[in-house]
Every structure is written in C-alpha cells, then in structure tokens.
Amino acid sequence: MTATSLDTAAPSAATIWRAEISATITLAVPIALTQLGQVAMMTTDLALIGRLGDDAVGAAALGHAVLFSAFMLCLGLASAVAPLASQAVGARKPRNVRSALHAGLRAITIIGIPLMVYQLQASSLLVALGQSVEVAALAGRYLDGIAWSMVPACWFIALRSFMSAVDRPQPALWITLVAIPANLVLAYALIHGTYGLPRLDLLGAGLATTIVNLAMCVAGGWVVLMRRPFRKFHLLGGFWRADWKLLWELMILGLPISGTYLLEYSLFAFAAVMMGWISTTALVGHQIALQVASIVFMVPLGISLAATVRVGQAVGRRDAVGARRAGFAAILLGIVFMSAMALLTAVFRNEIPALFLGGNADVQTVALAASLLVLGATFFIADGIQTITIGALRGLNDTRIPLLLSALSFWLIGFPAAYVLAFNLGTGAAGVWIGLSLSVFVYAILLIARLLILLRRPDIVAAATTQSL
C-alpha cells in the first residue's frame, strides 16, 4: 500500500473532532435531561407545599437548606464513581468497573447514615440559630419525611454514574421521567389525604420524596443487574468483599468534590441572605434570576458529566491526545450552548420574570429581575465553562486543587467583591450579582489554566491510570 493510500485511509483531524463532539452530545443529552427531571420533581414539590401557606413554604426552605448541606457531602462520593468506572472501561478492566460502583455505594452508606441522623435532629439546631419554634418544628416535620431520601438518592446517582461510564445513560432518564408524575401524584395524596392515604401535610411531602427516590434506586439496581449491557459486569460478584484500598481512593477523590459543591452552594445561599438585607424586591429578583440560571445550568452539567466519562475513558486507554480532545470538545460545546442561552435571556429579560410572577407582578420587581438577568448573561457563559472544565479535571482524578481554587474564587474573591459592591459602594442587588459573576469568571480561568497545565504533562495520563487502576 502506498503512502498516498495510507493518508487517504486515515481519518482527518476534522473527522476525529466531529466524532468526539458527536459522542459527547450523545452522552450529555440524556444526562442533562435527567438533571432537568430532578429539577422538575423539586419544582412540583415546592408548588404543592406552597398551597399549605407561607409558614409551610418557609419551613420547607429551611428543611431543604439542611438537606442540601448534608446531600452535598454524599454527592461528591457518588460523583467519584464516574471517573473511576470510566477509566476502568477505557482500560478494559470490567472487574474494576464493578469495584468502582461497589466502593461508591459503600462510601455513600458509611457517610450518609450519620448525616441522615443529623437531619432528624435539625429542628433544635434551627431554634438555636434563631428560627422560631413553630417554623423549626414544621421544618423538622418535613425533614422527618425527606431525610430518609438522601442515601437512596445518592445510590441512584452512583448507579447513574456507572451507566454513564459504560456509555448507556438512557435508562436513568427513563426512570426519572416515570418518577416525575409518580412523585406529583404521591406527594399530593400524602399532603392532602386523598386516594385513601392519610393527610400528612409537610411530613407527607417529605415521605413522598423518600418513597419515589427509593423506587428509583430499586429500578436502577434492577436495570444494572438484569439488562444489557450492564449485566455482563456481574455487579453482585464480590459485592460482600470490600476493597478498602479502592474505597479509600474513592473517598480521597470524592470528598474534595463534596467540598467544592459546598463552597459554591454556600456562597449562593449567602447571596440570598445579602439580598434579604437589601430588600424583599431584591430577594425576589435574585431568586428569579438564580432559578433561570439553575435551569440553564443543567445542560452544561450534563456536558460536564459527559466530559468526566470521555476524559476518563481516554485515561484508561492511556490516550493523552484523546483526553485532551475530549476535554476541549466538551468545553467548546458548553461555550456555544451557554452563549446562545445568554443571548436568549438578554433578549427576553422582561418576559421571563412574568413566567414566575404572573400578570400582576410588581413593576419594580420585574425591572430588577430583568437587570439581573442581563448581568447573568456573562455569568451563564463563565459558569458553563467552569462546570465543564471541572468535569474534565475529574476525569484526570484531579479534585484537590480545584477545591482550593474554588475557595479562592468564591470566598476570597467573590464574597468580598459582592459585599463591597453592594453595601460599601451602594450598587445594591446588581453589586451582589457582579461579585458572583466575578467569582465564577475567575474560577473558570483558573480551572482552564489547570487543565492546560495537566494536559501538557506527558506523565499525567499514566499517573491518573496508576492511581485508579
């Protein structure tokens, strides 16, 4: 065969990049839709609770704050399954794929059970933090039902990470799509006492979430045990023989992910507190803009999880070029999508608040929400970049340095900037959002710099592979 015919047979660089982008989209779309389904379940819960009155809404908000502070710790451990399992897939080591899922389920159980107990005692903690006894008691009643959902929910996320690692994320999407209406019907029945079930108000809302999450976990477990291509991994094999070394590695990988989630979540939670200091109008406008950002965020989050898998698989193959291509193809997709969302948000900034506030909305609130959505346009792009980049870094088993970078970006830069702009310089709500945007922008730049540094090191793929396999 001649050199010319070899050149003709070899795929072009453009073809390779198109294939990578196509594979990332195929993986990311069902993951993103699954995330949107989770948001839909939370939204329907809050809509049903809203009919119980303002005290119930306030109690549910407090309950969610307690739940998510614990949930974030377990979420990092569930997320760590994806890079370990995808690296094992790339290395063609099915036993290691199985062991990664086993380690994730064990870690979630070990950490999650004490955290559930903590949530059940949260009403007294809320009183100590200055909440009224009545609202704290209502929050405690809600947590008595929903606290039990945390471990099954994280188990399902670990199963979902395993499905994604073997390039089959679709079953998690179908399970979530069935769970949305099931959650709506069950929550309504247990809150109001219909269909022969007892009237349990806030306790019923929490119990419905627990029951549905447990059912999702059981369905996910059945799929990975009984359906192709998952059953070839024989997931029950060796389940009762703990691999303590791998469990420790998963915790070392996953706990910094949990810390990163907590640092970002806590800044945005405190941003709401600062908005409350400014005015009720500022708080409402902030919540609208943040809810829009949260919905849009689900797509780059899906791309981020796909980047973890694609980079992890390349690491398992010891393919440094493939890892680099997978990471930057995902980032490019995120930039394109979030730029489009930023443009649409800016164009429809005056119409979007009406979707949340209705036709009789306060003019000042709509105007403030619209202005924050314009400020959020640049925030959207930076947030998409940082989310996807950190997913690519997790595919390289790099989680500790991103944790330090998040502390720097969110709390040493973002928080002081938001406070000074809002209160010392008198820019109010806009200043808080400028500070938030600055923190995310700095974080995105630092993460991209970190990714570039790692991918230029010839030993990084081998080092990541040795650590996990």
Q: How many residues does the chain have?
A: 469
- Mean pLDDT value of segment 80-100: 89
DSSP 227: S
Q: Given this model, what pLDDT does residue 6 score?
A: 46
- Mean pLDDT value of segment 88-106: 89
pLDDT of 174 higher than 90: yes
Q: pTM of the full predicted structure? A: 0.87
261 closest CA partner among 74, 23, 14: 74
pLDDT of 359 higher than 80: no
pLDDT of 175 higher than 80: yes
Distances (CA, A) of 97 to 160, 253, 265, 463: 13, 16, 30, 18
The dihedral built from the CA positions of residue 251, 253, 257 and 263, taken in this order, carries a sign that is positive
Residue 340 CA to residue 144 CA, distance in Å, equals 42
Q: Given this model, what pLDDT does residue 278 score?
A: 85
- Mean pLDDT value of segment 77-81: 91
Poorest-pLDDT segment among 288-292, 302-306, 445-449: 288-292
CA 321 to the chain's CA centroid: 28
pLDDT of 14 higher than 70: yes
- Mean pLDDT value of segment 226-247: 82
pLDDT of 216 higher than 50: yes
- Mean pLDDT value of segment 415-419: 94
Contact residues for 180 (Cβ-Cβ < 8 A; gap 6+): 37, 40, 41, 44
Domain ranges of the chain: 38-242, 255-469
- Mean pLDDT value of segment 94-108: 90
**Cβ–Cβ < 8 Å for 403, 386:** no
Omega into 11 within 30° of 0, i.e. cis?
A: no
Residues 431, 434, 436: CA angle, nearest 5 degrees: 110
DSSP H helices, 227-279, are 244-278
Residue 75 CA to residue 314 CA, distance in Å, equals 24
Percent of the chain clearing pLDDT 90 (strictly above): 40
